[in-house]
Amino acid sequence: MAWTEASIPDLTGKVILVTGGNSGLGLETVKQLALHGAKVYVGARSESRAKQAINEILSQHPSIPKERMQWLPLDLENLQNVIEAAKILSTTESRLDVLVNNAGIGPETFITTKEGLEQTIGVNHVGHFVLTKSLLPLLKATAKVPGSDVRIVTVSSVAEKFAPKSNNFTSIKDLKDPGAANPNDYASRKATFKRYGASKLANILFTKELQNKLTQEDANITAITLDPGPVSTESGMGIFPGVLKPVLKLVMKSVAKGALTQLFCATAVEVAKNPDRYKGQFLNGPDKIDQPSDKARNRELARSLWRITEEALAEAGISTLP
Ligand SMILES: NC(=O)c1ccc[n+]([C@@H]2O[C@H](COP(=O)([O-])OP(=O)(O)OC[C@H]3O[C@@H](n4cnc5c(N)ncnc54)[C@H](OP(=O)(O)O)[C@@H]3O)[C@@H](O)[C@H]2O)c1
C-alpha cells in the first residue's frame, strides 16, 4: 500500500524543528507534523513569513492548537545566529526528536557569506552543519530517553550529480568556490547548477559521515537524506522560464506529494522498527532507498568534507559544540 499522509503515526509529545518551514516543502512538512500531534518549530529567517505560514496552517486547520507551531528565528547564512537559534531551542525544550534540515537556495549569482564561503554551500551545507552540531547535545539527550526515536533528516536532491567533477572537497577553497567555475561564467545556468549540485552532494556526504560518527559513539540516532523529486514549489519551478509554470504544475509533483519523502524519513514507523536499514541512506520516495552518485557514496570524500567544514569554521572563528 502506498505511503501517504494517513500513514504518519501519532506524534504527540514529539518536538521537531523544520528549517525553511515557512514555504514550499518545509511548510507542508510543518503542517503535516503539527496535524499529527507534534510540537513544531518553524526555523525561518523572516518573522513575518514564518508567522504568515503558521497563520495559514491555523486558518486551514483550526483544530491545531496555536502553541503547537512556534517560530524559531534562524538565518542559516548567519552562523552566529544559527548557534543562537540552537541555544534558544536547547534552553526552551528538554527534547528534540527530529531535526529536518530542509531549507535550501540556488542563487543565480556568485555571492559569498560573511565567512567568505560561497552562499549556496554556505546556507545549504555549512548552515545546517553548524545547526546540527549545535543541537547534537539535545538530540543525544533525547535519544537516551527510553522509547525515543531520534532522527536527523537532510533534504538533498538528485541534482547532486551536477556537482563539478573537479571538486573533491579537499580544501577550504572547495567551499569558497564549490562550482569551481570560470570567474567569467559565474552567472550562467550551468554555474548555478554546479554550485547547487555541490551543496546537495555535501548534504548526502554530511549525512553519511554524521551517521558514521553517531554509530561509532553508539548514539541511538538515525541520520537520513533524500531527494523529494521535482516538486512544483516556487523555487522548484524557478529554474524554468515563467511561461512554463502552468505546464510545470501539471507535470511536477504537487507540494503535498513531494513532501511525503521527508515526512516518511521524519516519522515512518518502518524506520523506527528497522533503523539499521535506513541509517545514512538516501531515499527518493517514501520507503524508496536509492543509490546516489559514486561520489556521494565515497567515505573518504565524506570525511574530507567534514574536515574542511570544521577548518572553515575554525578559520572564521566559529566554535560549534562537540
Ligand atoms: N522543489 C523541488 O523540486 C526540489 C527538488 C529537489 C530538492 N529540493 C530541496 O527541497 C528543499 C526545500 O525546497 P523548496 O522547493 O520547498 O523551496 P522553497 O519553497 O524556496 O523553500 C526554501 C526555504 O528555505 C528557506 N531559506 C532560504 N535561505 C535561508 C536562510 N538563509 N536561512 C533560513 N532559511 C532559509 C526559505 O526561506 P525564505 O522564505 O526566507 O526565503 C524557504 O523557507 C531545499 O533543500 C531544496 O534544495 C527541492
Assigned C-alpha cell, 223: 541520520
If one counts the domains in the chain, the total is 1
Q: How many CA atoms lie within 13 A of 304 on its CB side?
A: 17
Mutate to test the pocket of ligand 1, among 17, 18, 22, 25 (most ligand atoms within 8 A of CB): 25
| pLDDT greater than 70 at residue 289 | yes
Among candidates 153, 112, 220, 127, which has minimal Cα distance to 17? Answer: 153
77 close to ligand 1 (CB < 6 Angstrom): yes
322 domain-assigned: no
Assigned C-alpha cell, 241: 522560464
Q: Report, as an integer, the average pLDDT of 232-247.
A: 82
155: pLDDT confidence band, cut at 50, 70 and 90?
very high
pLDDT of residue 129: 98
pLDDT of residue 164: 94
pLDDT of residue 321: 57
Q: Report, as an integer, the average pLDDT of 40-51.
A: 98
Residue type, 228: P
Matching residue, cell 567534514: 306
Give distance in angstroms: CA of 213 to centre of ligand 1.
27
| pLDDT greater than 60 at residue 318 | yes
| pLDDT greater than 60 at residue 140 | yes
Mutate to test the pocket of ligand 1, among 28, 102, 196 (most ligand atoms within 8 A of CB): 102
Ligand 1 atom with minimal separation from the 78 CA: 31
253 close to ligand 1 (CB < 6 Angstrom): no
Query: Which residue range forms the structural domain that includes residue 168?
Result: 10-315
50 close to ligand 1 (CB < 6 Angstrom): no
Q: What is the CATH number of the domain that holds 295?
A: 3.40.50.720
pLDDT digits (tens, 9 = 90+) for 248-284: 888 899 999 999 999 999 999 999 999 999 999 999 9
1 domain-assigned: no
3-state SS class at 2: coil
321 domain-assigned: no
3 domain-assigned: no
246: pLDDT confidence band, cut at 50, 70 and 90?
confident
8: pLDDT confidence band, cut at 50, 70 and 90?
very high
CA distance 310 to 133: 11
CA distance 201 to 84: 27
Of residues 41, 186, 196, 278, which has the active-site annotation? 196
4 domain-assigned: no
- Phi-psi map region of 229: left, alpha, beta (phi>0 left; psi -120 to 50 alpha): left
pLDDT of residue 27: 98
Q: Report, as an integer, the average pLDDT of 176-199.
A: 88
Strands 221-226 and 150-155: parallel
Give distance in angstroms: CA of 306 to centre of ligand 1.
23
50 domain-assigned: yes
196 noted as active-site residue: yes
Across 89-119, b (16+ Cβ under 10 Å) vs e yields bbeebebbbbbbbbbbbbeeebeebebebbb
Is residue 103 within 8 Å of residue 20, measured between CB atoms? yes
- CA distances, 201 to each of 66, 84, 98, 105, 158 (Å): 37, 27, 22, 14, 9
How many helical (H) and strand (E) elements, i.e. helices and strands, does the chain have? Answer: 14, 8
Give distance in angstroms: CA of 233 to centre of ligand 1.
9
Radius of gyration of the chain from its Cα atoms, rounded to whole angstroms: 18
Q: Report, as an integer, the average pLDDT of 174-191.
A: 85
Which residue lies with its CA nearest to atom 37 of ligand 1?
20
Ligand 1 atom with minimal separation from the 199 CA: 47
pLDDT digits (tens, 9 = 90+) for 64-100: 999 999 999 999 999 999 999 999 999 999 999 999 9
pLDDT of residue 233: 92
Residue with the bigger pLDDT between 219 and 238: it is: 219
Helical ranges in the chain per DSSP H: 24-35, 47-60, 79-92, 119-121, 128-143, 173-176, 189-216, 234-238, 245-251, 255-258, 260-267, 269-273, 275-278, 299-315
2 domain-assigned: no
| pLDDT greater than 90 at residue 234 | no
What is the rounded end-to-end Cα distance, in angstroms, of the chain? 42
122 close to ligand 1 (CB < 6 Angstrom): no
216 domain-assigned: yes
